Structure 1
Amino acid sequence: MKPSRRIFLISATAAALISAVPLQAQDKPALEVAFLYDNPVGDVGWVRQHDDARLALEEALGAEVKTKVVQVPTGADSERVMRQLAQGGTKLIYAVSFGYMNPMAKVAAQFPDTVFMNAQGFKTSKNMGVYSARVYEGFYLNGIVAGKTSKTGTVGFLASMPVPEVVQSVNAFALGMRSVNPDAVVKIVWLNTWYDPGREREAATALLSGGADVLSSILSSPVSIQVAEEKGAHAVAWQSDMAKYGPKAQLIATVLDWSPLYVANTKRVIEGTWESGSEWAGASQGVIRVSSLNEAVPADVKELVAKAEADLKSGSLKPFTGPIADQHGKERVAAGVSLSDDELMRLDWLSAGIQGSIPSN
């Protein structure tokens, strides 16, 4: 065979192989995805869980995505950063805190070809959506463990800010606790912050001194676990598994796993099927789940938690199903009735068994 004939055959074969590869695989570059964090990535807490999910997204979608992280405060700086990202070719931007919502809405209006997603917000547009987690489901499960293991019947709760997510969580915690221990009470302390280890330590210590023997916290630090470990008490963990800070103290960890939401949403953007909306994900999507239970937790309590988690996943358990009375004895939810999502977002009362009140501002 002449050399020119051999070269022609090789070229023809190569061309046939290339043509057999879908055009999408040949031509479509990796989707550039940016994550905006308002705090550093620690080893536990809110930002840690989002960054773990970002890494899981990279693993799940491989060469289809290219992610980057930008740490920037909410406000004017974040607006500038989002604009620069969109101008630079980033086609999907996740901003993991509520405070990014207003700056994001401004930038989204200027870049209709970029998809913007804000965590915990409520503003949407054609190219801007919001996503959040049914945090209260995890606190309901934690409440069951606290109610069954507390010897004093008093549990201390470190609350952050009086926003709907936190009000829902405090109530769900009390409902879960009193579903197994009807006389148990929750003492609540509001700190008006998401992270302040010094004040958290003071509040946790005061709650234990005031009769609580189990602590719960919705803040991002492991302080409540640490204080419980130091004082020989117990605690339930939220967001991240914090057992390394209190191997004896931590009874249960219910965690936020954002990866199912990030993977599914990013796939829709890649496939061109993404539509704006508001997604509120929970146990049924795998976003809320039990990460660990201390070996010291009795077997019957573990069974209760497993059953409740399974029922949350199936939708047969809705924590805000009546009868539910508030802390003053007034019926708020009639027997057999479940609060709608809209009603949950407007929740402005505390259920029976909670000592304390919702701050007015």
Structure 2
Amino acid sequence: MKVLFIVPYPEGKAASQRYRVEQWLPVLKEQQINYRLVPFWDDATYSILYKSGNTVLKLAGLAKSLLNRVKLLFELRNYNYVFIHREATPVGPPWFEWLAAKLFLPKIIFDFDDAIWLANTTESNSIVANYKWHSKTTQIIKWSYKVSCGNHYLQQYALKHNTASFYVPTIVDTNYKYQPLKDQRTPTITIGWIGSHSTLPYLKLIEPVLQQLEQNYSFEFIVIADQKPDIQLKSLRFIPWSEDTEVDSLLQVNIGVMPLPDTEWAKGKCAFKAIQYMALGIPAVVSAVGANTLVVPNEIAGFTCSGNQKWYERLEQLLQDAQLRAKLGRAGKLWVEQNYSIDAKKEAFLKLFT
């Protein structure tokens, strides 16, 4: 069997791609399944993609990448399956997917972990958003052999257009990378958040809660990201994200948070931050939105919160009680091992290729 993975970014650069595609590659190797990973953006263009300026270089990189996708079409017959993560091209209609499905005829597996059929314009993508083709998500789902969905909300949408749509959550490797257990007996208590520039604005939702907590408690608020957050906290400590230090950075956190607005876009989120926290024995405090309510067992491995008052009460409770943090942390780690680990979901992932 030969599988072609079509992904947006160079290997090791984007969390969604690393956890939904790249970490499964060793599993395919174990099963003696041959594969090839083909990103859209090259390293040089990706290094400037989210920085201001360099318009000519970005356009040149885009043109080169589009040409490479055209060339790739003529190699599709060499593969049994073509696994497309999110989209084959970041702008314009789904011409690649249509040609692949209608003319070159490999079995297409479409994988997505956000509500990408909805427009979601942010400061970082405001220019390219004008050239997005959001309706193509529905079309790609229809043309696919199977669809892999990151949460049940996404699956319900996909099932309207393709009955071969399956729930395959984003998971972590609890046998290796996410094996450590956070020691909750620390002199300085920390609340932490991990994410990318696209989700940093969500921290504004709990900024007033954290400011109120600062008036009564001593703690650090750690942000692990690719950009500094725009929030006003005297307790703030920024840690630049890198794949090599990701787990070590998270192990500095006693309490992990994941605020979300109650929107259709947010319902498409797969609660992966919470999975990361719990996998390391860090209790998760999350907004009671979408997949968060399924992924985080309330009062067992963490807390789901609606409204600032509940956020304050739950964070205060965990700041005060190291034993509770440890108890919830242990339960969360076991929960992830049983439900959101490679071992737990290996069979579901491999069934996509049958």
TM-score by length of 1: 0.39
Name whichever structure is richer in strand by fraction. 1
TM-score by length of 2: 0.39
